[in-house]
Each structure stands twice: as C-alpha cells, then as structure tokens.
Amino acid sequence: MRQLSPLVLAYIGDTVYDLYVRTYLVTGEQANAHALHQRSISFVCCRAQSRACLALLDSLTEEEQYIYKRGRNAHPSTIPKNADLTEYRTATGLEAVLGYLYLSGQMERLDSLMQNILNA
C-alpha cells in the first residue's frame, strides 16, 4: 500500500468517504434523494473534509500521518476552481488515509475515523 500513488489512494478514499456519508444520511434521515444529496454536499465539500481532517490529525497513527502527508503534498494535475489550495490538499491527505485504510483492510479503524467525522 505504501507504494501506491497518494493520489490513487485519495481517489479510492474519496469514494469511501462519499459512501460513508451517504449511508449515514440514508440511515438517519427521512428525505428524498435530492434533499439527501444537498445534505451530503455539506459533508463532502473540500472545506468540510479539511476541517474534519484537522480535527483528527492528533489521533492518527504514525503510519496514517505518513500517508496523510504524502496525500497532502501530492501535486494533482487539476484543482477545483472553487477550492482553496490549502483546504484541497488537506482534504486530499484525508482521502489518501481513508483509501489506504480501505485497501489495506483496516475496516475497524476506517469505521472509527468515519464515525468521529460524522458525529462531530
């Protein structure tokens, strides 16, 4: 896993994050698909992911911090026009950690981090 590109880890981590958010919303709210989508945006946007990551940094293991820094310091080919560069990089670091945990089968740890994010 350490040899995978941090942007590949972030690619998978983005999907994992989105799935957790959607599952959390569907199991906790009675709403139509459009309302659920609008609510999910508040969780998956770059700014929200960055804030969530900064709140978790002290609880990351040494290995997770290494993966986070690789993701944060990676140079993506494009950056969304409505995103702050620092927030975007921080969010990418978080996504890399989530992708790493998912691909390495560390589901309990992944669940724990996502529960901290979703219940914050």
Residues carrying an active site annotation: 14
- The two structure tokens encoding residue 33: 């698909």
Which of 60, 43, 61 is closest to 52 using CA atoms? Answer: 43
Fill in the DSSP letter of residue 5.
Answer: -
Q: In angstroms, what CA-CA distances link 54 with 1, 4, 19, 58?
A: 23, 23, 21, 8
